[in-house]
């Protein structure tokens, strides 16, 4: 999946600005997502995909563009790390939605999905991580309660069990 920032030339607001969008491309399909920002056409550099230096509020507008790009890049990396195909459906389905399941349920869903596509090696890594998390703390906590502090404590737990740094970091920060 690829994307770029575009200026919608087909839309012109009363203040003579046009909206900026992220245009995603995947499998000969495209999808546009508004950035909530509009600029005067002369203030947009289509080649560089950013506002020109002489644009009023340049830094603020560019910050908003960059923040939205990073949000989608993070989502794409997360899908890839979970070995979920990066599709429009997967990318746009959960943005802004809360995961309403437990850590254990989530891991079991991932394990089932991996086994169905015959990725047994990846499934076994998830099973080991789930078993270790079960020893560390109840996996019945809600997925959205899993925060950085909890993951750091899990890393310490893994270190105390004799795991080396690579093993701890992989298991603790992959999720």
For residue range 104-152, list pLDDT tens digits in order.
Answer: 988 898 999 899 888 899 999 999 989 999 999 888 888 767 777 888 8
For residue 118, give the nearest of 76, 72, 142, 83 by alpha carbon.
83
pLDDT under 70: residue ranges of the chain: 94-100, 144, 165-175
Tell me 118's DSSP state.
Answer: T
Quote the pLDDT of residue 172.
Answer: 42
3-class secondary-structure state, position 108: helix
Could you give the C-alpha distances from 68 to 22, 30, 109, 161, in angstroms and in order? 9, 18, 29, 40
Dihedral (Cα; 83, 115, 171, 167), 10-degree rounding: -110
| Token pair recorded at residue 166 | 């690579």
- Residue 19's φ and ψ, nearest 5 degrees, are -75, 150
pTM of the model: 0.52
H helices, E strands: number in the chain: 6, 5
Quote the pLDDT of residue 173.
Answer: 44
The position carrying tokens 């230096």 is 53
């Amino acid at each position: 999946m690829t994307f770029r920032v575009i200026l919608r030339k087909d839309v012109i607001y009363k203040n003579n600005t046009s909206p900026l969008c992220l245009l995603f491309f995947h499998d000969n399909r495209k999808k546009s997502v508004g950035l909530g920002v509009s600029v005067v056409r002369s203030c947009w550099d289509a080649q560089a995909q950013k506002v020109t230096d002489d644009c009023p509020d340049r830094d603020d507008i560019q910050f908003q563009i960059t923040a939205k790009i990073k949000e989608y890049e993070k989502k794409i990396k997360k899908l890839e790390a979970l070995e979920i195909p990066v599709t429009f459906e997967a990318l746009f389905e959960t943005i802004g939605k809360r995961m309403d399941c437990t850590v254990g349920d989530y891991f079991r869903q991932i394990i089932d999905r991996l086994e169905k596509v015959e990725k047994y090696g990846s499934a076994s890594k998830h099973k080991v991580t789930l078993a270790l998390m079960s020893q560390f703390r109840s996996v019945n906590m809600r997925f959205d309660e899993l925060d950085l502090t909890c993951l750091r404590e899990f890393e310490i737990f893994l270190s105390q069990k004799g795991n080396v740094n690579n093993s701890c970091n992989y298991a603790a920060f992959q999720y």
